[in-house]
A and B are shown apart, each in its own frame.
Chain A
């Protein structure tokens, strides 16, 4: 429960987003021109919540009888989710009309998914993790199948739904065993009791089931089958949200729940599992991405390999790793959203122009877009001046510090492989002329979104030190 008005101040970002959902529903009911109003409202909601999270980053507190944390890295995550959704909204403005789904409900569901992500990042109790996860996932299932006249979208949404619900089954069973053996669902108490409970096999089975369920949600190796299909079938901007916000929220939930595993006190209980997930995701994602012709499938496999790089930070299990993951997630969210945004701009009516060949000669026809896409591709492949490089640098550094040098080496190897398929697009854009005439759609809002992500990618690449210091100061 809230005890004072002061507490209300701490949850303003949550109040803004949840208020946004309610107002959007009312606007959608009564207004004929709801599409434009809801677009403006979503921009306002996400912008305000994101900026306020950053502004109040030092207001650390725990509310609702130890259910919810605010301030610190919770607000850093909240900033990532909200600004990510802000960019997605900008990109959607003209895209969803082109794609054939201009319902006002789109924005309502988008806001619900962000509310779920924010709850997951702020959770101090398994209840909140679970409800937040489901709020986000159910919104995602709907977003994937938004254009229900299109068979592709139906199929993507059914696959996402069945596998997502399957993973939820594992997570609930895992939470059941954790609750029974630790006798609590409070994450703080769980963290304290973790060292004594490591001898209890039933507890470890519960944690393992929980991790397996979340491996689905972060789209990492043994449970990655749904990723390419879902990204290919969903609207492009929505796929961008799945691969950034969804992944960041799932990682935040793992970091929060199993905090005991990542502060170096418990040791290396689940390290073998995390190493397995991480190494295979990196290698598998990078190698399969080479052979893809569809750009959305290529970005999907690249998303699997990025889940692997992020899992290096989990396997490292020290506070450098945690800080590295948070920085990496911020960098990855903005660069990947930018890449998906450009794909959405290039995409023609009826999901055409999605093959990699459509990008040939883009530099001549539209130098600005080509330059922006090059920034995102350089950053995704981890080439120095951009944010992606520092993200990888911090997680590899954490791995080396905890003695997993060979895992960092696999990461570097996989980055080298990935340079091939990222730079292939850059080469196509600049050095190949005879492409088919692909005219990118004119969308001022979309351009603003892409430029904004490029600015954030460059900023994170220029000031990585101060940001990592900010994140580390809250650990």
Chain B
């Protein structure tokens, strides 16, 4: 077994198990910590896929900034624990899980039926080159300049919006 396959199995197990634990824990803080673990597992998978820049951003921005914001809010508000899985509205919940399972089976069937790998001929060097900060930065400031500028306005609107919704005093 090559190292790549071994690492894939390790990282995907981390991601899958932490995702399931995230939605089943009744304490929101523990859920948030499992989500961070999930993001770490995903960062590992991104590295396996030669996406270095995204892997680093995943850890710094997602796990480091966004999730810390979540943790701050959870600890600030101290929400009460939720009821156990089947205590409230069990029928609705079982129905939701069943629907999700059916859609999952359909997607898996679709995936292995349409075999996207047949039309793809992955080249290692091209793949490595496309994931560097250099390649992404170059694209971002030339071809994707307009979405980049628009994203600036998005962050500006979100900052103004978050301030107006959460600031303590209104005059």
Binding site for B on A (CB under 8 A): 1, 18, 21, 25, 63-65, 67-68, 103, 105, 108-109, 112-113, 115-116, 119, 125, 127-128, 131-132, 134-135, 138-139, 141-142, 145-146, 148-149, 157, 180-181, 200-202, 205
Contact indicator B147/A21 (Cβ below 8 Å) = no
- Report the Cα distance A21→B157, complex, angstroms: 9
A21 adjacent to B156 (CB under 8 Å): yes
Q: Which residue of A lies closest to B159 (CB)?
A: A25
Interface of B is mostly: helix
Q: Number of B interface residues at 8 Å Cβ cutoff, please give it.
A: 25
A112 engages B157 (CB within 8 Å): yes
Which residues of chain B from 133 to 169 have a CB within 8 Å of any chain A CB?
142-147, 150-151, 153-154, 156-158, 160-161, 163-165
CB-defined contacts of B153 to chain A, threshold 8 Å: 18, 21, 112, 115, 135
Which residues of B77-135 are within 8 A (CB) of A?
107, 110-111, 113-114, 116
Report the separation of the CA atoms of residues A108 and B147 in the bound assembly, to the nearest whole angstrom.
20
Decide if A64 touches B145 in the complex (CB within 8 Å): yes
Q: Tell me if A68 and B107 are in contact (CB < 8 A).
A: no
Q: Is the CB of A25 within 8 A of B160?
A: yes
Q: Report chain B residues within 8 Å CB of A132.
A: 150
Q: How far is the CB of A41 from chain B (nearest CB, A)?
A: 15
Residue numbers in A under 8 Å from B160 (CB-CB)? 25, 105, 108-109, 112, 142
A431 to B144, CA, bound (A): 60
Closest 7 A-B residue pairs measured CB to CB?
A: A142-B161, A112-B157, A127-B147, A64-B146, A131-B150, A202-B114, A105-B164
A202 touching B145, Cβ below 8 Å: no
- How far, in angstroms, from A103 to B161 measured CA to CA in the complex? 11
Q: Is the CB of A181 within 8 A of B116?
A: yes
Q: What number of A-B contacts does a CB cutoff of 8 Å give? A: 84
Give chain B residues whose Cβ lies under 8 Å from the Cβ of A141: 161
B:37-58 near A, CB below 8 Å:
none
Contact B110 A202, beta carbon cutoff 8 Å: yes
How distant is B111 from chain A, measured CB to nearest CB, in Å? 7
CB neighbours (8 Å) of A127 from chain B are: 144, 147
What is the CA–CA distance of A374 and B111 in the complex, to the nearest angstrom? 55
User: Which interface residue of B111, B144, B150 has the most chain A CB atoms within 10 A?
Assistant: B150
* Distance to closest chain B CB from A173 (angstroms): 10
* A150 and B153 alpha carbons, distance in the complex (Å): 28
Q: Which residues of A contact B164 (CB under 8 A)?
A: 103, 105, 109, 142, 146
Chain B residues lying within 8 Å of A115, measured Cβ to Cβ, are 150, 153
Tell me if B75 counts as interface (CB < 8 A to partner A).
Answer: no
Contact of B165 among A119, A131, A142 (CB under 8 A): A142
Give every chain A residue within 8 A of B156 (Cβ-Cβ): 21, 25, 112
Known: A180-B116, A201-B113. Is A138-B158 also a contact (CB below 8 A)? yes
List 13 contacting pairs A-B, 8 Å CB cutoff, sorted by A.
A21-B153, A65-B142, A103-B164, A105-B161, A112-B157, A112-B160, A115-B150, A127-B144, A128-B150, A138-B157, A138-B161, A142-B157, A148-B165
Contact partner, A201, options B110, B157, B170, Cβ 8 Å: B110
Are the C-beta atoms of A135 and B154 separated by less than 8 Å?
yes
Contact with B150, one of A25, A135, A145, A181 (Cβ below 8 angstroms): A135
Bound complex: CA of A134 vs CA of B158, how far in Å? 10
Residue numbers in A under 8 Å from B151 (CB-CB): 131
Docked Cα-Cα span, A149 to B167, in Å, equals: 12
User: A1-B145, A105-B160, A146-B164 are known contacts. Are A119 and B110 too (CB-CB below 8 A)?
Assistant: no
